[in-house]
Amino acid sequence: MDVAAVFFYLFSAVTVASGFMVIAARNPVHSVLFLILAFVNSAGLFLLLGAEFLAMILVIVYVGAVAVLFLFVVMMLDVDFAELKQGFLQYLPLGVIIGAIVLVELVAGALTLVPSPLGKPAAPTPGVSNTQALGRVLYTQYLYFFEVAGLVLLVAMIGAIVLTLRHKRGVRRQSVAAQVARTKATSVEVRKVPSRTGV
Partner 1 sequence: MILTGFALGPILPEFVLAVGALALILMGAFRGERWAWVVTDIAIFFLGAALLLVLRQPSGSVAIFNGAFIDDGFGRFMKVLALAGSIATLLMSGDWLRRERIDLFEYPVLIMLSTVGMLLLISANDLIALYLGLELMSLALYVVAAFHRDNVRASEAGLKYFVLGALSSGMLLYGASLLYGFAGTVSFAGIATAIHGQSSIGVIFGLVFVMAGLAFKLAAVPFHMWTPDVYEGAPTPVTAFFAAAPKMAAMAVTVRIITTAFPGIVGEWRQIIVFIAIASMALGSFAAIGQTNFKRLMAYSSIGHMGFALVGLAAGTAAGVQGVIIYMTIYLAMTLGTFAAILEMRRNGKPVEEIADLAGLSATDPPMALFLAAMMFSLAGVPPLAGLFAKFYVFAAAVDAKLYGLAVIGFMLSVVAAYYYLRIVKIMYFDAPRPAFDKGSLAERAVLAIAAAFIVLFSVFPGGIVDAADAAAKSLF
- Residue 45 and residue 23: Cα distance in Å, rounded? 21
Work out whether 169 is an interface residue with partner 1 (CB under 8 A): no
Q: Does 138 bind partner 1 (CB under 8 A)?
A: no
Taking CB under 8 A as the criterion, which residues in 59-118 touch partner 1? 117-118
Q: Cβ closer to partner 1: 61 or 154? A: 154
Exposure string over 154-185, b if 16+ CB within 10 A, otherwise e:
eeeeeeeeeeeeeeeeeeeeeeeeeeeeeeee
Cα–Cα distances in angstroms (integers) from residue 198 to residues 11, 187, 189, 191, in the given order: 69, 21, 15, 11
Q: Does 122 bind partner 1 (CB under 8 A)?
A: no
10 binds partner 1 (CB under 8 A): no
What is the DSSP secondary-structure string of 90-149?
GGHHHHHHHHHHHHHHHHHHHHT----TT-PPPPPPTT--HHHHHHHHHTTTTHHHHHHH
Options 87, 92, 144, 188; binder of partner 1; rule CB under 8 A: 144
78 vs 144, which CB is nearer to partner 1?
144
Min dist. Cβ of residue 115 to partner 1 (A): 13
CB of 34 to partner 1, least distance (A): 29
Residues in contact with partner 1, shown as a per-residue x/- string from 145 to 164 under the rule CB under 8 A = x--xx-xx-xxx-xx-xxx-
Residues that bind partner 1 (CB under 8 A): 117-118, 141, 143-145, 148-149, 151-152, 154-156, 158-159, 161-163
